[in-house]
Amino acid sequence: MRTARWLPSVTLLIPVTVALVAAHPTPAPADDEVVEYRSGRYEVDAGHSTVLFKVQHVGVSNFYGRFNEVAGRYTLDAEDPTQNTVDFVVDAASVDTNSRDRDAHVKNEDFFHVDEYPTMTFKSSSCEQTEPGHFAIQGELTLLGQTRSIDLDAHLVGAGEITMFRDYRSGVEARFTIKRSEFGMTKYMGALSDEVTLIVSLEGIAGK
């Protein structure tokens, strides 16, 4: 199996699970530590992956929400990062804004219209390594039946054999900003910003 050496990056979002108290977990790499990284295909572990969104509210604050269900896969090629790929599917009905009434609203036709458009999807078309462990990824995002080309700023969080799970895992995180109006989501402009930032933090299991 091919490997490469990467400079790790500290993620802003660290998936937390009570399983981390299990015996002999693999420690996170230190900021100045170089980690080995395994090439291959990784299946997203939905239980340890996160999709967040950020939108400005009434011009005075940033409001954060999340989607609780995400699936997908990515491949990483240590020798030729241009061969890296990622695709994921987000269940729009799993949106969580910490309010049942608000969740019901954002699921309706004013926002995600989940009855007609149940998923948001992304599929990459190209990848360029900008520095060790960091990638500029281009691809297509489909939301509300509209598909647009977008750019992701992605980085490798870490990788290694995980004793408690008896498998090899890696973590990647990407963020990107869209204009929701370009996908037909135009309600409540002014109260909510047109620009929405999404943060996708994926933990993948090798060989799945």
Residue 163 lies in a domain: no
Contact present, 52 and 13 (Cβ < 8 Å): yes
Residue 186 lies in a domain: yes
- pLDDT value at 99 more than 90: yes
pTM: 0.82
Q: How much is the average pLDDT of 59-70? A: 98
Number of domains in the chain: 1
Burial class (CB in 10 A: 0-12, 13-18, 19+), 42: buried
The one-letter code for the residue type at 131 is E
**Residue 24 DSSP one-character state:** S
Q: How much is the average pLDDT of 187-191? A: 96
- pLDDT value at 77 more than 90: yes
Residue 126 domain boundaries: 41-157+171-206
User: What pLDDT, on the 0 to 100 scale, is given for residue 37?
Assistant: 80
DSSP for 27-56 reads PPPPTT--EEEE-EEEEE-GGG-EEEEEEE
At 93, which CATH number? 2.40.128.110
Residue 185 lies in a domain: yes
Residue 70 lies in a domain: yes
State the average pLDDT for the chain. Answer: 87
Residue 125 lies in a domain: yes
* 138 — pLDDT class (breaks 50, 70, 90): very high
Residue 18 lies in a domain: no
Residue 3 lies in a domain: no
Residue 104 lies in a domain: yes
